[in-house]
Amino acid sequence: MAITWTTTITPLNMATKEASISATRIDSEDPDNPKTYNVPLAKLATAQEKLAVADEIWAAYQADLAYTYTIAAFIDQLEIDLNANLEARE
């Protein structure tokens, strides 16, 4: 499994070092389902601000991942319950 991230930085204001950032995560095991995360306005003047942008993108990815796992667990349990119910009727 190989993960790649492709980022696109669009300058908005060079004087204040502000930009819009898009980051797309591609998993080699599911290349047709890329995930894109956006930071519409990011300050990039200092190392701390640059790290904050990376943290914001990573937090959005983690929230998306948690949501995906929550849905999968919900569906899995529903399928188990429904199968048990239907099989009990046999």
**Domains held by the chain: number:** 1
Digit-coded pLDDT (tens) for 24-79? 999 999 999 999 999 999 999 999 999 999 999 999 999 999 999 999 999 999 99
CA dist., res. 39 & res. 51, Å (int): 13
The answer to whether residues 52 and 26 touch, using CB atoms and an 8 Å cutoff, is no
Q: Which domain does 67 fall in, by range?
A: 3-88
Question: What is the model's pLDDT at position 1?
Answer: 77
Question: What is the model's pLDDT at position 84?
Answer: 94
* pTM, entire model: 0.80
